[in-house]
Structure 1
Amino acid sequence: MQPFVMNSHGRMVFPSNFLPELDFTVLDDLDQLSAVIRRDFEDKAPSGTEILRRIELGSHYGSRYELMRDVALNLFWSNRFAMTMYEKRPTRWRDVPRHRDDVFLPVLTPWEDADRKAAAVQNAYGALPATWDEAAEDRIFAVLFDVWRSRRFHATELPAIKPTVAQALVVPEQLTYRLASYDPNYPVYAQQEILDASQDVAELEALDRWSMVLHNQYPWQRSETSLVPVGELHDDDYVVVFHPRDHHVLDFLRRASRPAPATRRRRFGRSRDIEATPPVRPYPPVRVAEQFEVLPRIEALAAVRGEHLCTNDDLIRNSAYSWSPMSAQEIVDKTGIESRVYTERPLEDLALQAAEAALQHSGRRPEEIGAVLFCTCTSARLIPSVATWLTGQLGMHQTHASCDIVAACAGLPYGLSEATRLLQEVRRPVLLICGEKFSDKIGSVRTSRMIFGDAAAAMVVGPVEDGGRSDVEVLQTYAGGPVSEVNSIIWPNPEFDNNITVYGPEVRSLAGRYLQQMIDELRDQPAPEGRAGTLLDGIDLVVPHQANKTMVVGLAGSAGLSPEQLYFNIATVGNTSAASIPLALVDAVTDGVITEPVRVFAPGFGAGAVGGYAVMTVDPAVVAPESSAREVGSESPQPDDGTPSSDHVQAAFG
């Protein structure tokens, strides 16, 4: 889990974006580690030689920010293994263990043209105009440049696995760090100071955090550091000894040092190329009134959304070193999202609040409910299921069925379909809840961070009284497709530290395929009673899964729907997967788009290549007044632990 935190300024911060941590429990060998490192650290980072070339060409850098960003990216890259795998501990040479397999001595190659590269960056910075805030940029540059000019080693061919001390001593002419002195009280930034970085410009705030993290990689007087042969070290010399960050790293080092096993652990993956064959005959949509004896009626609909707004500016303030530059407006243009909602509460807490609100609005008592269904793809609770947990919290002594349904963004049509089937057996209301919490399952992958949000919604689906009409007219669900589409959204994903990842082109492919199929099916269905034409002609409003507005509008247009027919609330809540359609229905009522009973087409599609839709009548009277999320206890201020403050660090640079 990678939760966000609220800093002392009340701003949202994502520590995983600038404090690199890899999950070594999911890495088997050096090839897998290399792929992760290449993606996260190398692909976006220029080498020192490339920075020098860009400066000498004289046309690449138009502002100080662009130069500082490249320098910072280079420094993250040059520390790619030290930051993710090891702790650096300056130690007197006489006290360094010589025969342990968990103590390592870095063997380094001198950085080519180090003085020339340092001078080039310093001179280029002075010649460039300030980008936004000259004083802030000068302060950030001072921290970054002190690390840059003190860099001693060449980074292109750094090994992930450092030699043990005994191995390093076998070749005494190999070079390692020697410190002229070491002060254990050398000033570094405390983690809270890094979280509390604050700049008026979002891009500068991110760079400010980067500079603090990079400074902390070298907690000693860097100007007095040199590279010397291991064989020339004296007892009173300080060296920089590397220790594994934790036992997971040590286990990986030992695992990777052994011969590769004949077979690797089986993983969910995207590599198998299996031809997907269509079913022997299509699955027709379910016309509810014709197929079922007990007809469903939506008695209540309630929604609860996350209590924290995460704006696009918040994303830029938290830019990860693996992100390409993107502005807040460019995120809007790409996704249609201006902000998304996050919660500090557990997912089941949101679900419970939504369920209670729906029950209250419907006038139903817990003991009247025949089944509880919970649709989600982000639950961290396996035993008991969230649905059964909810029955306990709601005081239900027994239900006919309570279970979780993992249908991702098609959660509502899947849930409504199952609720309608259960009505035939229980002939009493079914409580259907859709909820997601993505905010703590997103690492440093920008695609996921741009899109997803947290919310829950609940419906009470009851039986229609004798002679009444059903609110739900047509239901359809699907699953399947090419392997690349089935694995287009993955969580947990070992290739991305078990965080959620989205492969955009495949998602677009499955969404376009399903939307066209859905529209074709509606065109083949007769119009509702009293209307001419097809069922599609009888639709008053389209409320699609809020995946990505830019993508959905384009795909819907290709399928024959105009933007005016579609309702979106994604701009302020993001993509909340299973909760997105019911949450959008609530907002359509709140926004005055639905003011009387209207026929809604609600298509959903997403992870696992699932899809489905409901054609239903939504009466604004069923929507419960939305209550705010229950208050969350704020974090207590962190005590002073004696760690040097930022004032001390700044004083060190003059």
Structure 2
Amino acid sequence: MQLAGIKLIGTGRYLPQRTVSNEDFTRFLDTSDEWITTRTGIRQRQISNGEPTWYMGLKAAERAIEDAGIDPQEIDMLISTSVTPDYAFPAQSNLLLERLGIRGAFGIDIQCACTGFVFGVDMARRYLATQEDVNTVLIVSAENITKFADYADRSTCVLFGDAAGAAVVQRGENPAYSFFETQGEGAELMYAHLVPPGNPFSDPEQVERYAELFPKGEGHYMYMNGSEVYKYATRALPDAVERVCAKAGIAPEEIDLIVPHQANLRILQTAAKNLGLPMEKFSINIDRYGNTSSACIPVTLSELRESGRLREGDRVLLAGFGAGLITGAVLFEVER
């Protein structure tokens, strides 16, 4: 059964005011602007100066609602995506609904790493297509990913920035297509620990035994096997594009715009080459923001919409990949 598509009616973004350049890292790391830029494509990133994740999400959501030109009370569902929420509970979607003053809607949090927004769009599409009382969905992707960065590790800390992006979607007239895949065998390639199990009745040796399943990483800092994740991403991104295009019955060259997860410029260049597509088809802002996890794609969408680059009838493909290992893509047509 082919479900109805989506109509993007509003977008918004929030970037912390603090800008950190590559040169700033040279004060405490053995690195250089050239070393970072040539390996990643990143020149600067915005980093939280204390703004919590929910606050960044709130500001992006407010701007998306304003851009959509709707009353917040018209929102029926709020989907929050983040790997860096401020609280274990309540859910971040609950906090956002309360701060936005929305009554009568329901919220849900999803944690799908850097692919979170793509999952959120597809989840919104399915609710809109199957639930008569869901007509408008707000998707908010907010990330304070730098709090998991080890600033003694030059190979990872230079990659990340903080940001939030949001989108308001409604039921569309044209079909949309999606593809998702999880390769759980790669879970150990990138992870970060939370509070470990422990209580007055725990056996410390038993707790330690389970901890050995994912032994790397200092404290709560993220661990990433960069070379293996890179290899995965260069395969997964073009595969996701081809698979979702196959579902739509089109060739990749018929896509007007690809909005990818901004992990590394070389990954995007390799994917474009493997697909036989020009880089002009890819919307890229990694040089300014770095990797902001699930916020990458909605921040980029917000910039595209603001600049008028999302034209009616354009085929737009959102493509994410990240820890899990997870890949996801959604293909839709811009409607007015």
TM-score w.r.t. length of structure 2: 0.85
Contact (CA 8 Å) 2:11, 2:305: kept in 1 or not? Answer: no
Report how far residue 616 of structure 1 moved: 2.1
Larger radius of gyration: 1
Q: Is 2:178 the partner of 1:475?
A: yes
User: C-alpha distance in 1, partners of 2:48/2:187?
Assistant: 28
Q: Give 2:302's aligned residue.
A: 586
User: C-alpha distance in 2, partners of 1:526/1:342?
Assistant: 38
User: C-alpha distance in 2, partners of 1:461/1:595?
Assistant: 14
Q: Give 2:240's aligned residue.
A: 518
What are the within-5 Å matches in structure 2 for residues 571-582 of structure 1? 571-582=287-298
Contact (CA 8 Å) 2:115, 2:321: kept in 1 or not? Answer: yes
Contact (CA 8 Å) 1:522, 1:536: kept in 2 or not? Answer: no
Q: Give 1:299's aligned residue.
A: 9
Question: CA offsets per residue over residues 90-117 of structure 1, 9 Å max, x none?
Answer: xxxxxxxxxxxxxxxxxxxxxxxxxxxx
Of 496, 500, 504, the residue aligned with 2:222 is: 500
User: C-alpha distance in 2, partners of 1:589/1:419?
Assistant: 19
Read off the aligned partner of 1:495 and give its amino acid letter. G
- Higher RCO (CA-CA < 8 Å; seq separation 6+): 2
User: C-alpha distance in 2, partners of 1:395/1:580?
Assistant: 26
Q: Give 1:330's aligned residue.
A: 35
Read off the aligned partner of 1:291 and give its amino acid letter. Q
Distance of aligned partners of 1:428 and 1:523 in 2 relative to their CA distance in 1, 3 Å threshold = closer
Contact (CA 8 Å) 1:445, 1:501: kept in 2 or not? Answer: no
Distance of aligned partners of 1:578 and 1:595 in 2 relative to their CA distance in 1, 3 Å threshold = closer
Which secondary structure state, in structure 2, belongs to the residue aligned with residue 614 of structure 1?
strand
Q: Give 2:86's aligned residue.
A: 380
Question: CA offsets per residue over residues 7-37 of structure 1, 9 Å max, x none?
Answer: xxxxxxxxxxxxxxxxxxxxxxxxxxxxxxx
Question: CA offsets per residue over residues 344-380 of structure 1, 9 Å max, x none?
Answer: 2111001011111111221222322111110111113
Report how far residue 318 of structure 1 moved: 2.6
Contact (CA 8 Å) 1:515, 1:556: kept in 2 or not? Answer: no
Read off the aligned partner of 2:73 and give its amino acid letter. E
User: C-alpha distance in 1, partners of 2:77/2:310?
Assistant: 30
Q: Give 2:190's aligned residue.
A: 489
- How many residues align? The count is 310
Contact (CA 8 Å) 1:569, 1:587: kept in 2 or not? Answer: no
What are the within-5 Å matches in structure 2 for residues 122-161 of structure 1? none
Q: Give 1:541's aligned residue.
A: 257
User: C-alpha distance in 2, partners of 1:486/1:509?
Assistant: 14
Contact (CA 8 Å) 2:11, 2:166: kept in 1 or not? Answer: yes
User: C-alpha distance in 2, partners of 1:371/1:347?
Assistant: 20
User: C-alpha distance in 2, partners of 1:481/1:603?
Assistant: 19
Of 154, 173, 189, the residue aligned with 1:446 is: 154
User: C-alpha distance in 2, partners of 1:501/1:537?
Assistant: 36
Which secondary structure state, in structure 2, belongs to the residue aligned with residue 487 of structure 1?
helix
Report how far residue 333 of structure 1 moved: 0.2
Question: CA offsets per residue over residues 45-68 of structure 1, 9 Å max, x none?
Answer: xxxxxxxxxxxxxxxxxxxxxxxx
Which secondary structure state, in structure 2, belongs to the residue aligned with residue 337 of structure 1?
coil
User: C-alpha distance in 1, partners of 2:119/2:241?
Assistant: 18
Q: Give 2:326's aligned residue.
A: 610
Q: Give 1:351's aligned residue.
A: 57
Report how far residue 398 of structure 1 moved: 2.7
Give the number of the structure whose residues are more often strand, by fraction.
2
User: C-alpha distance in 2, partners of 1:396/1:585?
Assistant: 24
User: C-alpha distance in 1, partners of 2:81/2:134?
Assistant: 21
TM-score w.r.t. length of structure 1: 0.45
Distance of aligned partners of 1:579 and 1:618 in 2 relative to their CA distance in 1, 3 Å threshold = farther
User: C-alpha distance in 2, partners of 1:291/1:506?
Assistant: 36
User: C-alpha distance in 2, partners of 1:445/1:388?
Assistant: 35
What are the within-5 Å matches in structure 2 for residues 88-127 of structure 1? none
What are the within-5 Å matches in structure 2 for residues 87-236 of structure 1? none
User: C-alpha distance in 2, partners of 1:526/1:429?
Assistant: 24
User: C-alpha distance in 2, partners of 1:380/1:494?
Assistant: 23
Which secondary structure state, in structure 2, belongs to the residue aligned with residue 575 of structure 1?
coil
Contact (CA 8 Å) 1:417, 1:475: kept in 2 or not? Answer: yes
Identity over aligned residues, as a percent?
A: 28
What are the within-5 Å matches in structure 2 for residues 614-629 of structure 1? 614-618=330-334
Read off the aligned partner of 1:336 and give its amino acid letter. G
Q: CA RMSD in A?
A: 2.1
Distance of aligned partners of 1:608 and 1:301 in 2 relative to their CA distance in 1, 3 Å threshold = same
Q: Give 1:314's aligned residue.
A: 24
Of 261, 264, 269, the residue aligned with 1:553 is: 269
What are the within-5 Å matches in structure 2 for residues 391-430 of structure 1? 391-399=97-105, 401-423=106-128, 424-425=130-131, 426-430=133-137
Unaligned runs of 5+ in 2: 194-214
Contact (CA 8 Å) 2:252, 2:275: kept in 1 or not? Answer: no
User: C-alpha distance in 1, partners of 2:45/2:234?
Assistant: 24
